[in-house]
Structure 1
Amino acid sequence: MRKKHFLLEEETTFMNHGAFGCALKDALHVSQKWQLYIERQPLRFFDRELFPHLVFVTKRLAEFVGCSPTDLVLVPNVTMAMNIIVRSQDLKAGDTVFMLGETYGAVKKLLRQVCAEQGAILQEEWLEYPLTGPGQIIRKVEETLRPGTRLAVFDHIPSKSVFINPLEEIIGICRQRGTKVLIDGAHALGVLDLNLSSLDADYYTSNCHKWFCSPKGCAFMFVKPEHQHSLRPLIISHGYGFGFNSEYIWTGLKDYTAILALHTVLDFWESVGVQRIRGYIKGLLTQAVDLLVGRWKTGLLAPREMFGSMVCVRLPESLQEDSAANYEHAETIQNALYSRYNIEVPVKALAGSLYVRVSVHIYNELEQYQELADAVEEMMSKEIQRVGGNCRCDV
């Protein structure tokens, strides 16, 4: 799979697909062909050919994620979609916006800034790790979400802790409290079966360039019909005033080729088989967990069944800090794994402990996780020390 469908270099042990994804080779080639084609006659493409292509690929993607194409628009990334949705909320002084501590860092900054501008209250609630199960998250929301909260923001799969949130139950609680729901599904497309029409979230957005493996610069934003009229695009252009879809199709000249290459990505998933791909990822994740937990004699951040294509495995005790682990210590170990062993995998400081956040995709194999296990065990015998206030790993 790696050699045939991806451009990943063989010398790197790559287990960090969750960071920026990795484009399918064929899809990247298609986007490059579109770039060359556009320049042969730019006006013909942008004025006469682009629109029906965008409509057609939007219909295909909408079918894949289970919603009407009139409720979905294509945008460059989830960050833009989150900005569009949050900045369109008509918040008043004293209104409350709810989020969990696991919310993605950039989204936290967005929510803090918007709430500060509009005088709203940002309520942040933290979970206790390790998680015992989905019920722990459901209870936290049930106990802390106050009736009348204007907006609640949840990650479908949080970037750092990577468990799958029990959205059906969480959204049900929000409905009872009269709260609109925004789901950041950056890591969900490709990993989970999505049926946005039945999920009942008010807003949902996901990246196509992560687990779905499209070229960079492609994501989608789903909005329930009753909220579309109140959404304000960040960029006002020629489509403004002509309805939800029109306002986001043309926001000035940009590179549309990642979107046009979505056909190739969808063809790949359909031809290989969605369930076959997910089955491979699930099976390899199970093997990787058994291997790492068994070798290191540690555990997971949450029960195994709460993870999809990524998992947080606790590092061995000898690599943990005497006091609570922090970002600096995590970076030291992550950089040592890369510089010494050419292993690309993130290390996260969560609830005072260090975890590796392991990604699994179809180009990964069990031998790569054995390499990680070996490298960490070798590091356990080396000295990790601080020099002049900076961390250094003597390996």
Structure 2
Amino acid sequence: MSTVKRDFGSFHASNVQELLDLSNEEYTPPPAPFTCPKFDKYRTETPHFGKDMRNKHFHLEEDCVFLNHGAFGGVLREALETAQKYQVWVEKQPLRFYDRELLPRLVYVTRRIAQFVGCDRRDLVLVENATTALNTVIQSVPLGPGEKLFCLSTTYGAVKKMLSWCCEQTGAHLCQATVDFPITDEQQLVDLVERNLEAGTKLAVFDHISSNTPFVMPIKDIIRVCHEKHIPVLVDGAHALGSLHLDISSLDADYYVTNAHKWLCAPKGTALMYVRRELQEKTRPLIVSHGFGSGFNSEFIWAGLHDYSPFLALHTVLDFWETLGVESILNYTHDLAKKAGDMLVKAWGTELAAPPHMFGSMSLVGLPPSLYAQEKPADYSVAEKIQNDLYHQYNMEVPVKSVQGRLYVRISAHIYNHLGEYELLRDAVIGKMQENKN
């Protein structure tokens, strides 16, 4: 093993488990093939969040009011540079990279990111996106006619389609409980699950943070309710990593999926899938390749030839977060989202879709009914029209959501945002209200 650790040598997918089994004292990480970005100045210099962070560390257009980080994220400038360096490095000697270097490097990334999200490295695999991971888990659950799957009405639309498709193929039934808005508190959601979840359900699927209506679920309590009924839980945490303190092991989920290219700001195509140890043997990759039969991590680490540089750039992303401090970043984004939400509610005379403490780095703020009163019902098409108007007239990216006949804006807050941008949103909506009156 020492030869493999230090000079790579000949390495195969079957060796992956060996490297993951090594203790931190035994393990020697492979050195990077080039100089990676460092953020040492933030060890002594307090970071200035807002415009300064945007100019230094992101590629966002200066004249765009970008309040929709939750859609597809926004890559950290230095992480993209690292990924591009790896792309060039690969082409200098492709056989050396893919046959000798890649898998040990992916093991190192897996070890680091597992520690960051609070789980055992042997229970975590790298995947390209949450959609792939969710499909992997859902399709691994054996279903038969009449058996049940469970989700809430706020579950992401693509996930509902996955669940419905599995039901169509197997004769199973999808049970869905409706979340009523505005939400009063966390107990409303726990009670909803308690009342509607039937014993014998094969799998319950919940968002950690709902995408369209971005309240933070009391996921630990909901998992407890499900486990009391002996029902396994799949958590869709697509929005969690980088917007919440994430400690996967403490949640006690059976499966947990999250994106690293959203709030953590990794290059596009970087996500994680956690599977409880005793369920790994039945959770098989959608793509069968060389690692098949060699262990859980081995089966997922190689999915054929594609661009693995986004995974390897996670080192730069983690260096950034660890240097600036997770607590410092989350305090800023949560505080900004709350201040912006409070300011918009007061200016528009509306309300949030849930109590302020149930939001993290996003918030769902009611739009003034007078803005869309002439449009009935206030459905998706009306929401889309207002969203497009804000973009075309004000160069403003903010999603407008239709929820039970009411319209809301979903605002995102990241370290490059500042309160003045939400004031521009406030004024744009007030301006459109004036247009409607005229």
Does TM-score exceed 0.5, indicating one fold?
Answer: yes
Q: Aligned to 2:193, what secondary structure does the other structure show?
A: helix
Partner of 1:344: 397
Within 1, Cα distance between the matches of 2:427 and 2:69?
21
Are residues 1:64 and 2:116 paired?
yes
Query: Which amino acid counterpart does residue 155 of structure 1 have in structure 2?
Result: D
Summarize deviations over 1:91-141 as a string: whole Å, max 9, x none. 111111000011111111110001110111100111110000111101100
Partner of 2:92: 40
Aligned-residue identity in percent: 54
Are residues 1:236 and 2:288 paired?
yes
Q: 2:193 aligns with which of 135, 141, 151?
A: 141
Q: 2:327 aligns with which of 250, 275, 278?
A: 275
Within 2, Cα distance between the matches of 1:56 and 1:235?
22
Partner of 2:217: 165
Q: 2:151 aligns with which of 56, 80, 99?
A: 99
Within 1, Cα distance between the matches of 2:246 and 2:327?
13
Partner of 2:38: none
Partner of 1:325: 378
Partner of 1:390: none
Query: What pairs up with 1:43-192 in 2 under 5 angstroms?
Result: 43-192=95-244
Offset of 1:381 from its aligned partner?
Answer: 1.2
Query: What pairs up with 1:5-20 in 2 under 5 angstroms?
Result: 5-20=57-72
Partner of 2:10: none
Gapped regions of structure 1 (runs ≥ 5): 385-393
Contact 1:2 1:8 in 2 (8 A): yes
Within 2, Cα distance between the matches of 1:352 and 1:135?
24
Q: Aligned to 2:416, what secondary structure does the other structure show?
A: coil
Contact 1:320 1:353 in 2 (8 A): no
Query: What pairs up with 1:189-338 in 2 under 5 angstroms?
Result: 189-321=241-373, 323-338=376-391
Offset of 1:199 from its aligned partner?
Answer: 0.9
Offset of 1:320 from its aligned partner?
Answer: 3.2
Moved more, 316-325 or 92-101: 316-325
Contact 1:67 1:196 in 2 (8 A): yes
Query: Which amino acid counterpart does residue 326 of structure 1 have in structure 2?
Result: D
Offset of 1:383 from its aligned partner?
Answer: 3.2
Q: Aligned to 1:11, what secondary structure does the other structure show?
A: coil
TM-score, reference length from structure 1: 0.96
Contact 2:234 2:253 in 1 (8 A): yes
Offset of 1:338 from its aligned partner?
Answer: 0.3
Q: Cα RMSD over matched residues?
A: 1.0
Gapped regions of structure 2 (runs ≥ 5): 1-52
Partner of 2:411: 358
Within 1, Cα distance between the matches of 2:223 and 2:281?
22
Within 1, Cα distance between the matches of 2:334 and 2:300?
36
Partner of 2:77: 25
Partner of 1:372: 425
Within 1, Cα distance between the matches of 2:342 and 2:228?
40
Q: Aligned to 1:136, what secondary structure does the other structure show?
A: helix
Within 1, Cα distance between the matches of 2:249 and 2:340?
34
Offset of 1:321 from its aligned partner?
Answer: 3.4
Aligned positions, number: 385
Query: Which amino acid counterpart does residue 249 of structure 1 have in structure 2?
Result: I
Structure 1 segments, 4+ long, off by >4 Å, are none
Within 2, Cα distance between the matches of 1:307 and 1:112?
29
Q: Aligned to 2:282, what secondary structure does the other structure show?
A: coil
Offset of 1:196 from its aligned partner?
Answer: 1.3
Query: Which amino acid counterpart does residue 271 of structure 1 have in structure 2?
Result: T
Partner of 1:389: none
Within 1, Cα distance between the matches of 2:436 and 2:348?
18
Q: Aligned to 1:381, what secondary structure does the other structure show?
A: helix
Offset of 1:317 from its aligned partner?
Answer: 2.2
